[in-house]
Every structure is written in C-alpha cells, then in structure tokens.
Amino acid sequence: MWFKLQRRIAPYVFVLPGVVFYLMVTFIPAVIGIALSFTNWSIITPNFRWLGLRNYERLLGDQVFITSLKNTFRYALWLIPGVVILSFLLAILLNAKVKGMVVFRTIYYLPMVTPIAVASVIWMWIYDRRAGVLNYLTGLVGLPPRNWLNEPRTALGAIAVMGIWLAVGGNVVIYLAALKGISQSYYEAAEIDGAGYWQKIRYITLPLLRPTTLFVVITTTMGALRAFAQMNIMTQGGPLRSTTTIVFYIFQTAFTDLRMGYAAAMSIVLFLITLVLTFINWKFLGKGVSYDAD
C-alpha cells in the first residue's frame, strides 16, 4: 500500500524541488515584469501610473525598436544555422575515432569558458582595420582591408561570427554525447545493405539526431534573441544602430533612460516572439525517431 502510494507521489517529489527552485526566482519576477509593462515606472520613483496599453502602442511607432527587431533577426539568421551546422559537422568528424579527441574537445570548449568581456576585447583587435588578423588574412587573398566593426553593413555579421565561435564548442559536446548513443548495429546493418558514408549520415545519423538538433536549435535561438554583451562592449549598438539588438535596447531603456515600464513592454514582446519561434521549431523538428534501446 505504501508502495503504491510512493509510486503515485514520486513524480511530484522528483519534479518539485527543481521546479520550485526555478520558478521562485523567475516566475514572480516575470509576473511583476508583465505588470510593470503597463506602467511608467522609472525604477527610482516612488510613484508611478497605470498606463494600460500605452507602452505597447508606443512600441509600434518606435523606429529604434523596429530596427532592433530587424537586427536581432538578422543576427539570429547568421547565428543559428552557423552554430547548428558547424557543431554537427565537427561532432561527426570528431566521432570518427580521431586521435587526440580529448584535446580537440577541450580546445573547442575554450571559447565558452573565456569571460565575455575579455573575448570581446580580443575580437575587437581581430577586426581592427589596421592591425587586425582578419584584414591580414583577407589581404593575403587580395581583398582590401575593411573596418569591420565600424561599417553598418559588416558590423552585425562580424559580431555574429564571434557568436558562432562562442557557441560551437558547447554544442559540439552535446552532439558528441548524442552521437555516442546511436547503436552501432544500425550502421552495420546499413553497411551490409551497401550504404556509403553520406547515405549512412543521411538515413541514420540525421534522423536519430533530430531530438538533439531540436534542443540545440531551441537553445541557440534563445541565445541569439538574447544577444547583448558583445554589442555592449564592442560597438555600443552602433554604428548607426546597426548592432542594436532588442536586449541591448531594453537594457539601455531600463538602466540608462530609467524607463523601466517601457523596457518591460519590450521584454514581453520579445518573450512572445521567443515563445512563437520555439513552438514553430518544436513542431518542425519535434517528431523524433524513437526506438527501443537494445
């Protein structure tokens, strides 16, 4: 009897600590944030007024907000395919019984471990027009030097490349772990049937990795939509607002302009966008291949 009881309550016991600890520091502040988006709170003022939907109306006409949305999407479009494809390819390469796998894995993980402030400064040097490594390399193939971070056309892409550099390592680790879990018997069966290298990847590896890919895509998407620290350090949202992402604008509005209510409204919009995108990703990639483990 006790046995049955503990079986019934077990899921709750397992789930509750993690859920409660997480929600207590995120849920209530999030709800407060939603409430704030309907006010004109300025952090330090003791009084504030209820504004209804005024903040949201204002968003529609805010050119900088719309620009920041566009920039964030462009950034995400650079980042997500780059990270997902690159980390997938690297994981496959590493998985093929390569010598020194430990060393490679460690090196790929290094960017994630470097403090972002330091990494940003170093990449600023890489992109420097006069002394940067990138211009040196492009010069070798005959291309003229460019001021990568100071040209509206290239600044965002340059930061996105840095973002890819940052995120690939961790995702390689995740993909590797997943790859290890694909039973060799599948590959062996395919080989007997005469499958070549690319066919094996296309018909076995890719489908079985779909769930992992979903995880990587969703987390990378969330990360891309949240991009802020690099823009803050490397370009301060410029030149000409070409690297102003949503969170950068939110941060500025909240902590420099002291317009917390308005920043909250922007945050809610970002939240809804992220929710929709996650849902779309889930629908697209969510149909995983399940099999009984042998």
Helix spans in 43-150 (H): 54-61, 63-95, 101-113, 116-126, 133-140
> Is 212 among the residues that bind another protein (CB under 8 A)?
yes
Nearer to another protein by C-beta: 69 or 263?
263
Asked whether position 112 contacts another protein by CB under 8 A, the answer is yes
Per CB under 8 A, the list member of 208, 224, 231, 234 interacting with another protein is 208
Q: Which of 47, 22, 28, 26 is nearest to 261 (CA)?
A: 47
Q: What binding mask, one character per residue, do residues 54-73 give for another protein by CB under 8 A, x or -?
A: xx--x---------------
Question: How many of the chain's residues bind another protein (CB under 8 A)?
Answer: 132
Q: Are 71 and 244 in contact (CB under 8 A)?
A: yes
Q: Can you read off the two tokens belonging to residue 39? A: 């006010």
Would you count residue 188 as binding another protein (CB under 8 A)? no
Cα–Cα distance measured from residue 265 to residue 33, given in angstroms and rounded to the nearest whole number:
8
Of 53, 66, 114, 284, which lies in the binding site for another protein, with binding defined by CB under 8 A? 114
Residues 128-167 that bind another protein (CB under 8 A): 128-131, 133, 147, 150-152, 165
- Tokens describing residue 217: 């895509």
Among 53, 66, 106, 280, binds another protein (CB under 8 A): 106
Q: How far apart are the first and last CA of the chain?
A: 33
Task: Enter the tokens of residue 112.
Answer: 């994630």
Binding to another protein (CB under 8 A): which residues in 164-183? Answer: 165, 168-170, 173-174, 176-178, 180-181
Of 133, 170, 167, 163, nearest in space to 148 by CA:
133
Of residues 66-105, which lie at the interface with another protein (CB under 8 A)? 90, 93-94, 96, 98, 102, 104-105
Question: 236 to 265, contacts with another protein by CB under 8 A?
Answer: 236, 238-241, 246-247, 250-251, 254-260, 263-264
User: Is position 11 an interface residue for another protein (rule: CB under 8 A)?
Assistant: yes
Footprint of another protein on residues 264-283 (CB under 8 A)?
A: 264, 267, 270-271, 274-275, 278, 282
CA separation, residue 81 to residues 77, 118, 168 (Å) = 7, 25, 11
Among 157, 195, 201, 281, binds another protein (CB under 8 A): 195
Q: How far apart are CA 135 and CA 15, in angstroms?
A: 52
